[in-house]
Amino acid sequence: MDWSSFWGVLWYTLVIFAFIAYLVVLFMILSDLFRDHKLSAGWKVLWIIALVIFPYLTAFVYILARGQGMAERSHSAAVAAARSQEQYIQHAAGQASPAHQIATAKSLLDAGVVSQEEYEVLKSKALAAA
């Protein structure tokens, strides 16, 4: 590496960028291969071997051939993770019964924190959720 030349540093930076970009694409492809339950194990092995032998060419072919399914699997995994997180939060926070929500709203009304109209809105929401 010639650090005294601007073009040498620029070339080195470009090579490092291309390598890191390839690693990101490689990990995306590998995670997609293992996420795809419809693809047989034999095809998965062939894709991995091709990624090792012809790295950039295979990555481009994979993205062109299976890019749409890759996006769909990624989206479904994100939706499943969000749904799981939402269920965990609801479980951890606990679901209050409508009677408990109305009692809490009544105590807020008695304390003067909410008005009668706000109490009625809270009460109707609690009853609607039941």
CA distance 49 to 58: 10
| Number of structural domains the chain divides into | 2
Model pLDDT, residue 14: 95
Within this chain, do residues 30 and 85 fall inside the same structural domain, yes or no?
A: yes
CA distance 31 to 9: 33
Range of the domain at 26: 1-95
Kindly report the number of other CB atoms within 10 A of residue 51's CB atom.
20
Within this chain, do residues 84 and 21 fall inside the same structural domain, yes or no?
A: yes
Within this chain, do residues 76 and 116 fall inside the same structural domain, yes or no?
A: no
Within this chain, do residues 101 and 89 fall inside the same structural domain, yes or no?
A: no
pLDDT tens digits, 38-96: 999 999 999 999 999 999 999 999 999 998 999 998 998 899 999 999 888 877 776 66
Within this chain, do residues 16 and 76 fall inside the same structural domain, yes or no?
A: yes
Model pLDDT, residue 95: 64
Structure tokens at 7: 């073009």
pLDDT tens digits, 93-107: 766 678 888 888 888
Within this chain, do residues 84 and 118 fall inside the same structural domain, yes or no?
A: no
CA distance 56 to 78: 27
Rounded to two decimals, the pTM is: 0.59
Model pLDDT, residue 130: 60
